[in-house]
Amino acid sequence: MELTGEKQDAYFNKHREGILAFKTAHDYMTRHLNGRTKIPLDDWKRELTGLTAQREKLLAENDILTAELRSAETIKRNANRVMAADAPKRNRVQDMEL
């Protein structure tokens, strides 16, 4: 049974959100399935597994680099303290030489 005229318009207006959501989803799936008729769940699961492994690897690398950065900042801070503590002694030695 197919609706025509005012009944079709009334039905569309009553169910506008659902119809538009279905059309949008259908268009999206049609574009991304590249002519296939079934959703490639196995391919997507494999891709998800690969991307998850890559993410974990990058997070581990980030943790290592963060620890190295903390160490470098600590070394820099301590070197600046040593240099600052040593600076007045140098000035006194230069004054004595004059």
Q: Which residue has the higher pLDDT, 72 or 28?
A: 72
Q: Is pTM beyond 0.85 here?
A: no
Do 28 and 52 sit in the same domain of this protein?
A: no
Q: What are phi and psi of 86, to 5 degrees?
A: -80, -20
Same domain, yes or no: 35 and 59: no
- Here the tokens at position 31 are 């574009």
Same domain, 54 and 83: yes
45 and 32 within one domain? no
Q: By the 8 A CB rule, do 11 and 3 touch?
A: yes
The CA-to-CA distance between both ends of the chain, in Å, stands at: 110
In this predicted structure, the answer to whether residue 59 has a pLDDT above a threshold of 70 is yes
27 and 55 share one domain: no
As for how many domains the chain has, the answer is 2
pLDDT, tens digit, 9 for 90 and up, residues 2-49: 767 788 888 888 989 999 999 999 898 888 887 777 888 898 899 999
Q: Are residues 46 and 74 in the same domain?
A: yes
Residue 54, pLDDT score: 98
In this prediction, residue 35 carries a pLDDT of 77
Same domain, 15 and 51: no
77 and 88 share one domain: yes
- Structure confidence at residue 52 (pLDDT): 97
> Which domain does 94 fall in, by range?
40-98
Same domain, 11 and 28: yes
| Residue 53 sits in the same domain as residue 72 | yes
The per-residue pLDDT for 29 is 84
- Cβ neighbours of residue 39 closer than 8 Å, sequence gap 6 or more: 29, 33
